[in-house]
Amino acid sequence: MIQFQEVSKHYENHTALRKITFSIQKGEMVFITGPSGSGKTTLLKLIYLAEKPDEGSISVAGVTFSRVKEARVPLLRRNIGVVFQDFRLLENMKVFENVALSLRIRGLNDRDLKARVFDALKIVNLRHRADSFPETLSGGEQQRIAIARAIVSEPSIILADEPTGNVDPETSRGIMDTFKDINARGATILIATHNRELIRQTGRRVFKLQNGDLLGEEIG
């Protein structure tokens, strides 16, 4: 589903990723771990086309990115649900509208999207917060709204950047259970986290990144 072949990404004064090669199968749930600045976010950005690799090739869902024209980028992104590290919720929109945005972008009308938005909010246990503005929610709740927005369009790939970064251990477990449920429905999930507690005893593959190098993989 996701393939990296000798991928490198350089910025002006440092190398974020160096010759990364890995492959993730359809329906897998995989973790990337490593300290801050190890290249986890850059790796995810390369998958949702927010960055371009300087070397190597990336292929997602059978599409090789180096051959993708700009006009196709939004269409490819619609196949990927992203939970951003900073949530990227729109402050001037209520929770319902924030989640619905993913579907509006895909051209769904009000009648069709309503049920799907409420379903997504139910999965993250925040249906009762549909009419609230994001700023009135706690960090954990905002994170779950971001997850609801990422899953509402039922993409085949979900990327999550530090999805438990702002929440207590109990909420973290709840979020992880949500991801497991979504994964059980067939979605391929890639979660970047520096929280090693989270991946312990998951039985999933874990990629270890450090200073832009992929040190190897292990089973969590």
Strands 15-24, 157-161: pairing is unpaired
Q: Does the protein bind other proteins through residue 66 (CB under 8 A)?
A: no
Window 104-133: residues binding other proteins (CB under 8 A) = 105-106
Pick from 74, 139, 169, 186 the residue near other proteins by CB under 8 A. Answer: 74
What are the phi and psi torsion angles at 58 (to 5°)? -125, 135
Which among 36-44, 82-90, 128-136, 183-191 is the span making contact with other proteins, rule CB under 8 A? Answer: 82-90
Output 51 or 119, the one with its CB closest to other proteins.
51
Say if CB 43 and CB 20 are below 8 A apart: yes
Give Cα 177 to chain centroid, integer Å.
15
Tell which one of 18, 55, 57, 73 touches other proteins (CB under 8 A).
Answer: 73
Q: Quick check: 63 binds other proteins (CB under 8 A)?
A: no
Residue 121 contacts by C-beta under 8 Å, 6 or more apart in sequence? 95, 96, 99, 127, 129, 130, 145, 148
**Alpha carbon distance 20, 18 (integer Å):** 6
Count of chain residues binding other proteins (CB under 8 A): 20
Single out the residue of 49, 61, 81, 77 nearest to residue 152, CA to CA: 81
Beta strands in 87-156 (DSSP E): none
Binding test (CB under 8 A) with other proteins, winner from 6, 35, 90, 139: 90
Closer to other proteins by Cβ: residue 154 or 213 = 154
Site for other proteins, residues 147 to 206, rule: CB under 8 A: 149
Applying CB under 8 A, the residues found at the interface with other proteins are: 48-50, 70, 73-78, 82, 84, 88, 90, 92, 101-102, 105-106, 149
